[in-house]
Amino acid sequence: MVVAIAVFALLPIEASDAGWLPDLFRSSPKHAKSPKRAKATRVGKLARHRAPPRHRAMRLAALGPVTLPLSALKPAAAKCDPATFRIVLDVGHTAQSEGAISARNVAEFTFNLRLAKLIEERLKAEGFAETRLLLTEGKARPSLFKRVAAANNLHADLLMSIHHDSVPNKMLEDWEFEGKKSHFSDRFSGYSVFVSRDNPDFKTSLRFAELVAGEMKAQGLHYAEQYSQAIMGRYQHPLLNKDTGVYSNDELIVLRKTAMPAILLEAGSIINRDEEREMNSPERQNLISSSVASAVKEFCEPRWALLGPP
């Protein structure tokens, strides 16, 4: 496919020198000037340069239509086929290292696994048959390298690590739930999406993160703003998009070491008592899973094959 582009270059040209214009399109050596002629021309130009200025007749020259291939205008992008497109849903933490504990004493791993399964079901229902759920065993740090190796072996197109949020210990308050001591913090709430600038394909990671965060916001959810605040101490991270809540975190192994574009979703706060209740509701779980599915579909739209990503 080619696109015809009419390029009109309005060039001021001396009437006596206009004969050079056709030579713009010549490449044969036979049109090159001989050394003697070139020398004579240089002498002539110097003489004209020293001469007193005089009025020069001017005219406008126009270049006609130039035919260029479409590939010269926009680099081709690989078409995304939902039937073969593989996204890995990494279930954050393990049964042996369960992550944060909610305000009502439920392990984060339980929340992560439940939401990951819902997202998997939704994506497969939308035609993404190659979606894979990644469950890892073992203690905290060793399990991180296990999950990275497993994800890389799956040769995925995208990776999403699914988590639920808490706060630093210094912000926790004490309370009791059903006769058991527990902790809570109602100070912060909301989702957040993280990327690593050390990921081998940071640009694609960021693009996917923007889509997920944008869909979450479109559903009426708000992002967790505390990660941009100094009060978070070592948990403070650069906010890349203050409109949708995309942060960078270059310390996360699951984002840094994976071979494919990767994001980490903190779906919501389970240490906030009100939001924990919402995260347990089928309505909120369906809202989040549909947001992720919509983001993946938008990422994989066929229009990318012609126009490339936005």
Give the chain's domains with CATH numbers.
Answer: 2-73 (no CATH), 87-307 (3.40.630.40)
Residue 293 in tokens: 């599915």
Q: Over the stretch 47-105, which tens digit does the pLDDT of each residue have?
A: 444 444 444 433 333 333 433 343 333 333 455 899 999 999 999 999 999 999 999 99
Q: What is the pLDDT of residue 147?
A: 94
Q: How far apart are CA 125 and CA 174, in angstroms?
A: 42
Q: How far apart are CA 285 and CA 110, in angstroms?
A: 13
Four-CA torsion 88, 139, 114, 157, nearest 10 degrees: -10
Q: What is the pLDDT of residue 82?
A: 94
Crossing angle between the packed helical segments 282-299 and 108-125, to the nearest 10 degrees: 50
Q: Is it the case that residue 305 has pLDDT exceeding 50?
A: no
The DSSP line for 208-240 is HHHHHHHHHHHTT--B-GGGGSGGGGGG---EE
Q: What is the pLDDT of residue 142?
A: 87
Q: What is the pLDDT of residue 187?
A: 96
Q: Over the stretch 259-283, which tens digit does the pLDDT of each residue have?
A: 999 999 999 999 999 999 999 999 9
Task: List, in order, residues 6 or more apart from 166 with CB less than 8 Å away.
Answer: 100, 101, 108, 185, 269, 270, 271
Q: How far apart are CA 71 and CA 3, in angstroms?
A: 10
Can you tell me which residue has the tokens 């190796």? Answer: 149
> What is the arithmetic mean of pLDDT over 29-34?
37
Number of residues that make up the chain? 310
Q: What is the pLDDT of residue 7?
A: 36
Q: Which run of H or of E encompasses 135?
A: none
Q: Over the stretch 160-207, which tens digit does the pLDDT of each residue have?
A: 999 999 999 999 999 999 999 999 999 999 999 999 999 999 999 999
Q: Is it the case that residue 23 has pLDDT exceeding 60?
A: no
Query: Considering just the CA atoms, what is the radius of gyration of the chain in Å?
Result: 30
Task: List, in order, residues 6 or more apart from 11 with CB less than 8 Å away.
Answer: 60, 61
pLDDT, greater one: 281 or 43: 281
> What is the arithmetic mean of pLDDT over 296-305?
74
Q: Is it the case that residue 46 has pLDDT exceeding 50?
A: no
Would you place residue 141 in the very low, low, confident or very high pLDDT band (cuts 50, 70, 90)?
confident
